C-alpha cells in the first residue's frame, strides 16, 4: 500500500509543469469559491446584524392575536401587561435588554404640506442600551426624559417636509378607539437607514408621545436583544415555556421569522454561489480530465508493462484515482491557503463597493473565513477530481496489452 | 522430460483494413522446463507474436498453448493475469522500467503484486539485484542507469518472483554487441544456476551461437528447430528435393 501511494505520488510530479498548471487551475477555483463564499458570508452576516440592530432585535413578543387577525384599529391586538412579560424575558440568560415598541402610521404635516409616515415609538434609553440606536446624520438621538414630543425622522421625509433638527411638525393618526388625534413634535435628529424607501417614510417618537397620540396604554410588541445572535434559539427555548404563565396569550417570533428581506437576499445569493460552484466543478473536471488523459497516453507503454506483469486492472483504476486524489488534496491545500491569504489582504484593503440598488451606503469588500466553506470547497475539488479521473483510469485499465506495449 | 510449454498448431491472424494478415501460421513447439531457447528470424517473421501468445498477452486465432498443462486460450482475463503474475517473467526490448521507481523498487514491483511481506521482499530484491551484479545501483532511478544496466534491472525484475518461464522479446536489440553478449551470458548463467526456463527472441546471429536451442521462424512458420528431429528431417527432405 505504501509503495502504491509512493508510485501515485511520484507520478503526480512526473511532469511538474503540467501538474503545476492543474494545481493552479484547481487551486484557483477553490480560492475563488472561498473568496466569493467568504464575501457572501460577510454580506449575510452584515445584513443579519444590521437587520437585527436596525431594530428587529433577536426575538419579538406579540399578542397571539396579532398573527390571527388584522386589526380594525391601531393597537387593537397590542400587548396589555407588557411590564410583566418584560420582566420574565429580562431574567433569561444572554438577554441584553427588552424594550417595548408601538408601530403606527399616519400623516405628518409642516403646515403647508402633508405626507404619510410609518411610525415607531420606542424607549430611547433602552433602545440605546440594546444597540438599536439608528444612524443619526444630523441633530441628536431622542431623550427619554425630555418634556416635549421629540422625534427622529428619515432623511427623505425631512427633505420632503423641508425641516432640520429643531423644527416642529404635526402628526395626525387614528387612535385605538378610531378617533382622529394629533400632536406636535420637535425634530431632534435626521436618520438614515441605508434604504431610500425607509428614509422617505420613517418617523420615531418616544413611547409616551405615541401613547398620547394613540390614546392607549398598550404596545405593539416587545423586542428582545441578546448578547450574540447565535444564542437566539437557546433563549427562545428558555423564554417560551415561561411566557405560558402570563395572563395574556402571547406569541414569540425569532428574528429569522420576521426578516423576510434577509431571507430573500440569502436565497438569491446562495443560488448564485451554487451556480459558481457548478462552474468551478466543470472547470476542474475539464482541466484535470485533460491532464489525466494526457498522463494516461504518455504512460501507455508503462501501463502495458504493468498489465503484462499481472497487475490487476482494478489496481490501475485505483492508481489513477489516487493520483487525482493527491492532486486534489494538494490543490485544496493551496486553494484554501490562497483563499485565506487573499481574503486577509482584501480585509485589510478597505475597499468599499458602490451601494447596492435601493441602498444609500457603500458595501465594504470583506471576507469571512468559514471553516465549513473551506471543508466544502476542498471536498468539492476532491470529489470532482476523483470523478474526472474515472474516465482515464478506466481507459487505462482496458488497454489491450500488446497494443499498449507497442505504443510509441 | 516434462514440457513446460506446449504450442499446438497455433495461428494468429490480424485484421488489416478489409483483409487478414497471418502473423503466425500453425506453429507447433514444445519447451521443456530449464531450457534456454532462442526464437530467431527476420523482422515480421512472427517472433514477437509467438512470445506474446506464450506470455498470455494475446490469444491465438486457432490452436492451443498449454503452460503447465493449462490451456491459456480458455483463461478469463483475470485468470490470465494471475498466470502471468505467478509463472512468467518478462524482459522487453525497450526495458520498460517504471521511471519514477528506483532500480530496487522496479525489481520489487512483481513481489508487491504477490502481496509478499516486506522483509521477504527486501531479501529477494537484494538477491535478484546481486545476481545481475547491480547491488551498488539499487537506489538509482532508470534515467541514471546505462542501457545495459537498465536491461539487467529488467532481468532482475523478471526473475525476482521465481517464475517458471522468462520471456524476453529482443532483449539485446537496444544494446551494443559487448553489452548484448554480457546480457545473454547473464541470462545463460541464471538459467544454469537457478534452473529458470528462458525463451528469447533475436535476429542477431552472434547471440544465437550462445544458445542451446534455436527455433527459426519465417513468414509465421517454424522452419527450423535445432532440437526437433521432425523439423530437421523435414529440412533434409526439402534440401533433398
Residue A169: inside a domain: yes
From chain A, pick out residues whose CB is under 8 angstroms from the CB of B160.
none
**In A, residues 310-339, which contact B (CB 8 Å cutoff)?**
310-313
Note the pLDDT of residue A108: 94
B79 touches A at CB < 8 Å: no
A398 touches B at CB < 8 Å: no
Which domains are delineated in chain B?
Answer: 3-240 (3.40.50.300)
- Closest Cα partner for A285 from A210, A367, A381? A381
A172 and A309 share a domain?
no
A209 and A294 share a domain?
no
Residue A369: inside a domain: yes
Q: Are strands A180-192 and A150-154 parallel, antiparallel or unpaired?
A: parallel
A27 and A107 share a domain?
no
A157 and A43 share a domain?
no
A237 and A302 share a domain?
no
Mutate to test the interface with A, among B54, B60, B78, B96 (most CBs of A within 10 A): B96
B232 touches A at CB < 8 Å: no
Query: With a cut of 50, which residues of chain B have pLDDT below it?
Result: 231-232, 235-241
Nearest CA of chain B to the CA of A355: how many Å? 56
Answer whether residue A246 shows pLDDT above 70.
no
SS3 A114: strand
- Nearest by CB to B113, from A304, A310, A313: name it: A310
If phi > 0 it is left, if psi is from -120 to 50 it is alpha, else beta; for residue A131 that is: left
DSSP state of A111: S
B108–A3: do the CB atoms touch at under 8 Å? yes
A213 and A89 share a domain?
yes
Q: Residue B66's beta-bridge partner residues?
A: B6, B71
Residue A344: inside a domain: yes
A103 and A230 share a domain?
yes
Q: What average pLDDT score do residues A317-341 get?
A: 92
Note the pLDDT of residue B63: 94
A97 and A231 share a domain?
yes
CA distance readout (Å), B234 to A400, B225, B230: 37, 11, 6
From chain A, pick out residues whose CB is under 8 angstroms from the CB of B139.
none
Nearest CA of chain B to the CA of A381: how many Å? 26
Residue A119: inside a domain: yes
Answer whether residue A128 shows pLDDT above 80.
yes
CA distance readout (Å), A195 to A75, A278, A363: 27, 33, 13
Q: Domain range holding A141?
A: 80-247
DSSP codes joined into one string, A73-92: STTTT-BSSHHHHHHHHHTS
Closest alpha carbon within chain B to A404: B57
Answer whether residue A286 shows pLDDT above 50.
yes
Note the pLDDT of residue B228: 58
Which residue has 517504471 as its cell numbers?
B98
Q: Which of A186, A214, A247 is the last residue of a domain?
A: A247
Q: What's the rounded Cα separation, in Å, for the pair A222 and B220?
A: 99
- Nearest by CB to B96, from A10, A11, A302: name it: A302
A288 and A198 share a domain?
no
**In A, residues 86-115, which contact B (CB 8 Å cutoff)?**
none
Mutate to test the interface with A, among B78, B81, B92, B168 (most CBs of A within 10 A): B81
B63 CA to centre of own chain = 20
Residue A9: inside a domain: yes
Q: Which of A220, A247, A274 is the last residue of a domain?
A: A247
Note the pLDDT of residue B100: 92
Nearest CA of chain A to the CA of B82: how many Å? 6
A305–B99: do the CB atoms touch at under 8 Å? no
Q: Please give the model's pTM, rounded to 2 decimal places.
A: 0.74
Give the pLDDT band of residue A135 (cuts 50, 70, 90). confident
Contact A288, A389 (CB under 8 A): yes
pLDDT above 90 coverage of chain A, percent = 40
Tell me how many domains chain A contains.
2
B94–A4: do the CB atoms touch at under 8 Å? no
Note the pLDDT of residue B149: 93
ipTM of the complex in this document: 0.90
How much of chain B is helix, strand and coil, in % rounded to 5? 40, 30, 30
Note the pLDDT of residue B205: 78
Contact A233, A92 (CB under 8 A): no
SS3 B47: helix
Q: What's the rounded Cα separation, in Å, for the pair A334 and A31?
A: 8
Which residue has 400623516 as its cell numbers?
A107
A242 and A271 share a domain?
no
B95 touches A at CB < 8 Å: no
Note the pLDDT of residue B17: 78
Answer whether residue A243 shows pLDDT above 90.
no
A7–B101: do the CB atoms touch at under 8 Å? yes
For A52-94, the pLDDT digits (tens) are 887 789 999 998 888 888 877 788 888 888 888 888 888 889 9
Residue A379: inside a domain: yes
A296 and A391 share a domain?
yes
Q: What average pLDDT score do residues A127-138 get?
A: 84
From chain A, pick out residues whose CB is under 8 angstroms from the CB of B110.
309-310
Answer whether residue A369 shows pLDDT above 50.
yes
DSSP state of A355: P
Residue A355: inside a domain: yes
Higher-scoring residue by pLDDT: A182, A408 = A182
Mutate to test the interface with A, among B67, B112, B118, B167 (most CBs of A within 10 A): B112
Note the pLDDT of residue B241: 34
B101–A10: do the CB atoms touch at under 8 Å? yes
A287 and A391 share a domain?
yes
A7–B86: do the CB atoms touch at under 8 Å? no
From chain A, pick out residues whose CB is under 8 angstroms from the CB of B88.
310
Residue A98: inside a domain: yes
Q: What rounded mean pLDDT belongs to chain A? A: 88
- Report the first-to-last Cα separation within chain A, whole angstroms: 30
A309–B92: do the CB atoms touch at under 8 Å? no
A305–B110: do the CB atoms touch at under 8 Å? no
Amino acid at each position: 500500500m505504501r509503495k502504491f501511494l509512493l508510485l501515485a505520488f511520484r507520478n503526480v510530479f512526473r511532469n511538474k509543469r503540467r501538474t503545476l498548471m492543474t494545481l493552479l487551475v484547481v487551486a484557483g477555483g477553490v480560492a475563488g469559491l472561498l473568496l466569493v463564499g467568504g464575501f457572501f458570508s460577510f454580506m449575510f452576516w452584515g445584513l443579519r446584524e444590521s437587520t437585527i440592530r436596525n431594530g428587529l432585535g433577536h426575538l419579538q413578543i406579540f399578542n397571539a392575536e396579532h398573527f390571527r387577525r388584522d386589526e380594525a384599529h391601531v393597537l387593537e391586538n397590542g400587548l396589555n401587561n407588557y411590564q410583566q412579560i418584560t420582566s420574565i424575558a429580562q431574567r433569561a440568560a444572554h438577554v441584553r435588554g427588552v424594550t417595548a415598541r408601538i408601530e403606527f402610521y399616519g400623516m405628518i404635516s409642516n403646515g403647508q404640506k402633508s405626507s404619510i409616515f410609518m411610525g415607531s415609538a420606542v424607549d430611547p434609553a433602552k433602545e440605546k442600551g440594546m444597540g438599536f440606536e439608528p444612524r443619526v446624520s444630523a441633530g441628536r438621538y431622542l431623550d427619554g426624559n425630555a418634556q416635549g414630543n421629540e422625534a427622529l425622522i428619515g432623511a427623505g421625509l425631512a427633505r420632503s417636509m423641508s425641516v432640520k433638527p429643531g423644527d416642529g411638525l404635526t402628526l395626525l393618526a387614528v387612535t385605538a378607539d378610531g378617533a382622529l388625534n394629533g400632536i406636535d413634535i420637535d425634530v431632534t435628529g435626521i436618520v438614515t437607514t441605508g434604504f431610500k424607501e425607509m428614509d422617505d417614510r420613517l418617523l420615531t417618537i418616544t413611547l409616551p408621545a405615541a401613547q398620547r397620540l394613540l390614546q392607549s396604554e398598550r404596545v405593539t410588541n416587545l423586542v428582545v436583544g441578546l448578547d450574540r445572535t447565535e444564542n437566539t434559539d437557546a433563549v427562545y427555548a428558555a423564554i417560551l415555556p415561561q411566557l405560558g404563565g402570563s395572563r395574556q396569550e402571547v406569541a414569540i417570533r425569532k428574528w429569522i421569522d420576521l426578516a423576510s428581506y434577509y431571507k430573500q437576499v440569502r436565497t438569491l445569493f446562495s443560488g448564485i454561489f451554487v451556480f459558481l460552484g457548478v462552474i468551478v466543478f466543470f472547470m476542474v473536471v475539464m482541466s484535470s480530465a485533460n491532464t489525466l488523459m494526457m498522463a494516461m497516453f504518455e504512460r501507455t507503454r508503462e501501463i502495458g508493462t504493468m498489465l503484462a506483469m499481472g497487475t490487476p486492472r482494478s489496481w490501475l483504476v485505483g492508481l489513477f484515482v489516487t493520483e487525482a486524489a493527491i492532486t486534489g488534496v494538494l490543490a485544496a491545500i493551496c486553494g484554501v491557503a490562497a483563499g485565506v491569504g487573499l481574503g486577509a489582504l482584501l480585509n485589510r484593503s478597505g475597499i468599499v463597493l458602490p451601494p447596492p440598488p435601493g441602498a444609500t451606503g457603500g458595501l465594504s469588500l470583506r471576507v469571512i473565513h468559514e471553516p465549513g466553506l473551506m471543508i466544502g470547497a476542498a471536498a468539492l475539488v476532491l470529489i470532482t477530481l476523483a470523478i474526472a479521473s474515472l474516465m482515464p483510469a478506466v481507459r487505462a485499465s482496458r488497454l489491450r496489452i500488446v497494443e499498449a506495449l507497442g505504443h510509441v | 522430460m516434462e514440457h513446460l510449454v506446449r504450442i499446438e498448431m497455433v495461428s494468429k491472424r490480424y485484421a488489416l483494413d478489409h483483409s487478414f494478415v497471418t502473423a503466425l501460421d500453425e506453429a507447433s513447439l514444445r519447451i521443456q522446463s530449464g531450457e534456454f531457447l532462442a526464437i530467431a528470424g527476420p523482422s515480421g517473421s512472427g517472433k514477437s507474436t509467438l512470445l506474446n501468445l506464450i506470455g498470455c498477452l494475446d490469444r491465438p486465432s486457432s490452436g492451443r498453448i498449454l503452460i503447465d498443462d493449462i490451456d491459456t486460450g480458455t483463461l478469463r482475463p483475470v485468470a490470465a493475469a494471475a498466470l502471468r503474475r505467478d509463472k512468467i517473467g518478462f524482459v522487453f526490448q525497450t526495458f520498460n522500467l517504471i521511471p519514477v521507481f528506483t532500480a530496487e523498487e522496479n525489481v520489487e514491483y512483481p513481489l508487491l503484486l504477490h502481496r509478499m511481506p516486506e522483509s521477504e521482499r527486501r531479501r529477494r530484491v537484494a538477491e535478484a539485484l546481486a545476481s545481475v551484479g547491480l547491488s551498488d545501483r539499487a537506489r538509482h532511478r532508470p534515467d541514471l542507469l546505462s542501457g545495459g544496466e537498465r536491461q539487467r534491472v529488467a532481468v532482475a525484475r523478471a526473475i525476482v518472483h521465481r517464475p517458471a518461464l522468462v520471456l524476453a522479446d529482443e532483449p539485446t536489440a537496444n544494446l551494443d554487441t559487448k553489452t548484448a553478449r554480457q546480457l545473454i551470458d547473464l541470462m545463460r548463467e541464471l538459467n544454469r544456476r537457478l534452473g529458470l526456463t528462458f525463451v528469447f527472441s533475436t535476429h542477431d546471429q552472434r547471440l544465437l551461437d550462445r544458445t542451446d536451442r534455436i527455433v527459426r521462424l519465417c513468414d509465421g512458420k517454424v522452419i527450423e528447430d535445432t532440437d526437433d528431429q521432425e523439423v530437421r528431417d523435414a529440412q533434409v527432405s526439402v534440401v533433398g528435393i
